[in-house]
Amino acid sequence: VAMGVRAALVVGVAVPVTLSLTLLSTYLMGYTLNRVTLFALIFSIGILVDDAIVVVENVHRHLHLPGRRRSFARTVVEAVDEVGNPTILATFTVIAAILPMAFVRGLMGPYMRPIPTGASLAMIFSLLIAFVISPWAALRVFRKEAHLPERDPSGLHPADPMREAAEPEREETAPAETWLTRTYRRQMSLLLRSPKARWGFFALIVLLFFGSMALLGLGAVRVKMLPFDNKSELQIMLDLPAGAAREEAVAVAQRMARSLLAEPEVRDVQVYAGVASPFTFLGMVRHAFFREAAEQADVQVNLVPKGERKAQSHAFAVRVRPALQKIAQAAGGRVQVWEIPPGPPVLATLVAEVYGPSEKERERIAQAALEAFRTTDGVVDVDSTLTAAAPKLTLRVDREKAALHGVQPAAVVQTLFAAGAGMPLGSFHADRGSTQVPVLLQLPVNDRTRSDTLLALTVPGARGPVPLSELVRAEEGREHRALFHKNLKPVSYVFGDLAGTVESPVYALSALDKKLAPLRSERGEVIPHYGLSHPPDSERAALKWDGEWHITLEVFRDLGLAFAAVLILIYVLVVGWFQSFAVPLVILLPIPLSLIGILPAHALAGSFFTATSMIGFIAGAGIIVRNSIILVDFIELKLREGMPLALAVEEAGVVRFRPMLLTASAVLVGSAVMLADPIFQGLAISMMAGEVAATLLSRIAVPVLYFLLARRGRAATLQREGARQAEEIFPPAPEPELQAMRNVS
């Protein structure tokens, strides 16, 4: 619309055509329409119109250039040809920036892969559409606006050297420049003339860059794998002391349920005690299907729909956790509030895996880690595998006494089994109904939980009934604690979650590392802390950080490698096009400049810098490089036409700023939809803020840097090359012959 309604229509044609082809390729690759693939399409909208914008804007500019005019069709062809090669190069730089993200490994790989693959295909389709459909649409739509002849009035071939002489001249005045353009020209003239102004400008950029990076160190921008999502359910996990009765767990869980039902965000709850809750995604992730002990209870909480509540599910969980902990602590138990993970499943946000040569060594280190978890700010729902086992009463039959009384040991066992677990005696038919009613022999609940009542029972002996207390010896003890192994190594776990003040594992683990650094093994050795790798064996004590932190390290490592590959690929592409090893450095400079906008924008929005934020930064790098390529290519185009270096640099910033600004606007509009989504908000912020910052800064920085580079000889070389090419295409004709040809024409 900034160029007019007709231009908007031409650019708008590219969107449905490209999306249709992208959807077809998505279907052929086997992807489904889900949250990730749909946001991949939304992400693509912001960048797939770039090619069409550049082409249509240049056609629009050529139609309004003052001076001599060619035919309408020829003007469109020449306008597309002028930006054709840099647009192809810029498109492949965007693909080179996005595609390496498809090779992220681990659990996040399949989760993220639709974004780079879908966007890369969309860019290829958009390039084809920009060179095929957009020029055709421009010929149809701009016909009335052009006011140019359909064919060359000379009737000569476009390559004929006499075409220029035969073509009629139409002089038009150049459009008046805006105050922004005049201001830009004044500032650029100052920067090109004054070394002090240039170094002051570069010093300001460096200061802004390091100031933005300092936001990470100061904690104003926090790093997290994925932000908290807004789900419609929670699970409350209650653990009473081992050996507690199921009825007691039911009573405490019901008190929690009544407390939750008083909250306006809660729709309904369901309590499960002594039996595992239904198999859900969260239950699969955190192994809730193992929770079948009598002292364990699960409370499934269903929230009202998202549109009917103001608080997100994470904020609700943080608010109700203190009240639930108070109820659990009054009964001597522990409570955990489980939220559905926003991305790949993890056992817990913070997981410490303790390895060691002996169980005693592992328990000692795990106990130290447990205390560190409990005393670290922001760490909640602390638990471990060190919990005490349930009490156990073993009744052993004295075979000698049983033989003296003439009692078979099996009779003792059967009697105790019938009293506790129950023994079926048969069934009878009810007066009404076809189902048989089982008859079960069993003591009442209050009697079968007491050992003195059980031992008061009698069994028939040789000289009459014999009480079980005469035949059975009671031994008190505890159940064996569960044994855990990972990768065939014995391990002990310590779990924790984050809520409140510190909700990023980066800072919590930094504090935990400092607290556990003085810890030594039994041999006096330093206990190594592992991040991505695992301990090679269990012969030495070791600590491995797992959970969300492991996936965070894995994802950011792969994204960092992908970004390094992006820079190398873009550098190689630009070197191949510009035939220079120095020019690509000028083009790649604006990439870090985008952080000047990205990090402060995350701080102002109060958002985490997440894996999706990193994706936005990398994808934005491709868009930023394409703008730099368009600037540098236009400068070199003007240099080949014989324009002085300073004027060519200044003219590039003036002429190419409109397509750069329109591209940035398209990215802003296309990404704004994702701001409302908690997961992809970081992607939108990085794309929007990074594009704005880089567009504004690169408009000045790239031309100035190119000026410093080209004045050492590249500009003169390009001007001589342009003059030589012009002589090869249009060789000078002798003056008499030229005059005769003009007379004939």
Concatenate the DSSP letters of all residues of 135-202 into one string: HHHHHHHSHHHH---SS-TT-S-TT-TTHHHHSPP---PPPPPPHHHHHHHHHHHHHHH-HHHHHHHH
Residues 6+ apart with CB under 8 A from 494: 351, 352, 354, 366, 369, 370, 373, 382, 383, 384, 385, 386
Q: What pLDDT shows up at residue 16?
A: 83
Contact indicator for 378, 470 with CB cutoff of 8 Å: no
- Full DSSP string of 671-720: HHGGGGSTTTHHHHHHHHHHHHHHHHHHHHHHHHHHHHHHTTTHHHHHHH
Q: What pLDDT shows up at residue 252?
A: 93
For the record, the structure tokens of 57 come out as: 């804007």
Out of 162-171, 198-207, 379-388, 530-539, pick the least confident: 162-171
Residue type, 706: Y
Terminal C-alpha separation, the chain? 43
Q: Distance between CA 541 and CA 522 in Å, rounded?
A: 9
With left for phi above 0 and alpha for psi between -120 and 50, is residue 521 left, alpha or beta?
A: beta
Q: Is the pLDDT of residue 162 over 60?
A: no
Q: Is the pLDDT of residue 522 over 90?
A: no
Q: What pLDDT shows up at residue 69?
A: 57
Per the DSSP assignment, residues forming a β-bridge with 394 are 475
Q: What pLDDT shows up at residue 455?
A: 85
Contact indicator for 331, 228 with CB cutoff of 8 Å: no
Q: What is the rounded average pLDDT of the residues 117-145?
A: 81
Give the E-state strand segments of 432-537 in sequence order: 436-441, 458-461, 464-467, 472-478, 485-486, 489-498, 529-530
Q: Distance between CA 330 and CA 319 in Å, rounded?
A: 19
The CA R_g of the chain, rounded to the nearest whole Å, is 38
Q: Distance between CA 156 and CA 118 in Å, rounded?
A: 46
Out of 220-229, 293-302, 316-325, 418-427, pick the least confident: 220-229
Express each pLDDT in 629-679 by its tens digit: 888 888 888 888 888 888 888 888 888 787 778 778 878 887 888 888 878
Express each pLDDT in 316-363 by its tens digit: 988 899 999 999 999 888 898 888 877 667 788 888 999 988 888 888
3-class DSSP state for residue 239?
strand
Write phi, then psi, for 374 (nearest 5 degrees). Answer: -70, -25
Longest dimension (CA), the chain: 148
* H or E stretch covering 303: strand 296-303
Residues 6+ apart with CB under 8 A from 700: 187, 188, 191, 201, 653
Q: Distance between CA 126 and CA 48 in Å, rounded?
A: 5
Express each pLDDT in 82-96 by its tens digit: 888 877 887 887 787
> For the whole model, what pTM was predicted?
0.73
